[in-house]
Amino acid sequence: MKRAFGFVRPLLRRVGVEVIAHEPRNFPHLRRTELLSTERIDVVLDVGASDGGWARGIRSLGFRGRIISFEPLEDPPARDRDWDWHRLALGDESRIAVFRVAANRQSSSLLPMADAHLQHAPESAEVGQIEVEVARLDELGVVPQGCRAYLKLDVQGAELAVLRGAEASLGFVRIVEVELSAVELYRGQALVEEVIAFLRSAGFDPIGIETSFRDRRSGDLLQANGFFRRRP
């Protein structure tokens, strides 16, 4: 089988097709199941939960531990008894803030949208604003002492602010999955190098990067999902 694969692969490359084995090591998002298991994760912190789709996804992967979701916009979805939902945003200080609602919902943010975002995704234009509660994760007291947590951040430019408001909670985190922007998609946001530097200083090393948003014309990277594991 391997021999046949090695023969076919060069032929497919000639017509612009790259064949990659469908294994977790080749696709970071497929590693979630492995990481949840090998890191003995018992709590998932789902920050920027949107409609709950990501959390439902890890349930479908077999995760049966506790999920704690944070989302200022959506109404709580149908959930099981081990899935908590907090209708608020996370940041580096507790306050009431303006939350900018995008037409496509998932691009909604505490930060104003930058021109580059609108240029590459016009369907994400702002359509309204609401006031939301913002809290520091460390002040909420929802992260169980002694847990082994998986922290997922999908907060549209506010990644570094959330991390700064969760420095004590990071002591219980084994894996961080976070959006990383190569260009400014939201005005004033921290870019990829700043977020990676913070996580490294907090004891996390990058173990996977997966492109999530590209310039459709040039192919240049705009945004990626980064996976980080606590340093031994």
Reduce the DSSP state of residue 175 to 3 states and report it: strand
Report which of residues 216 and 70 the model is more confident about.
Answer: 70
pLDDT for the residue 5: 46
pLDDT for the residue 14: 59
Joined tokens for residue 54: 């990501």
Report which of residues 134 and 211 the model is more confident about.
Answer: 134
pLDDT band at 19 (very low <50, low <70, confident <90, very high): very low
Nearest one of 229, 232, 231 to 34, comparing CA atoms: 229
Of 20-24, 104-108, 177-181, 186-190, the poorest mean pLDDT is in 20-24
Nearest one of 68, 87, 76, 79 to 143, comparing CA atoms: 68
Reduce the DSSP state of residue 24 to 3 states and report it: helix
pLDDT for the residue 212: 87
Beta-strand pair 149-153/204-214: unpaired
48-96 per-position pLDDT tens digit: 999 999 999 999 999 999 999 999 998 888 899 999 999 999 999 999 9
Beta-strand pair 95-102/149-153: unpaired
CA atoms within 13 A on the CB side of 52: 17
Joined tokens for residue 231: 């340093």
CATH architecture of structural domain 23-90+138-230: 3-Layer(aba) Sandwich (3.40)
Of 18-22, 100-104, 163-167, the poorest mean pLDDT is in 18-22
pLDDT for the residue 95: 98
The neighbouring-strand residues paired with 66 are 43
Beta-strand pair 83-86/66-70: parallel
CA distances to 114, 128, 212 from 121, rounded to whole Å, are: 11, 17, 13
Averaged pLDDT for residues 176-190 = 97
Question: Which stretches of the chain are DSSP H helices?
Answer: 2-14, 31-38, 53-60, 115-120, 137-140, 159-164, 192-201
pLDDT over 60 at 101, yes or no = yes
pLDDT over 60 at 151, yes or no = yes
pLDDT for the residue 77: 84
pLDDT band at 217 (very low <50, low <70, confident <90, very high): confident
Q: What is the mean pLDDT of the chain?
A: 90
Averaged pLDDT for residues 193-212 = 96
Q: Do 131 and 97 meet the contact criterion of CB atoms below 8 Å apart?
A: yes
Q: What are phi and psi of 215, to 5 degrees?
A: -70, 120
Distance CA 203, CA 174 (A): 10
Joined tokens for residue 9: 């692969």
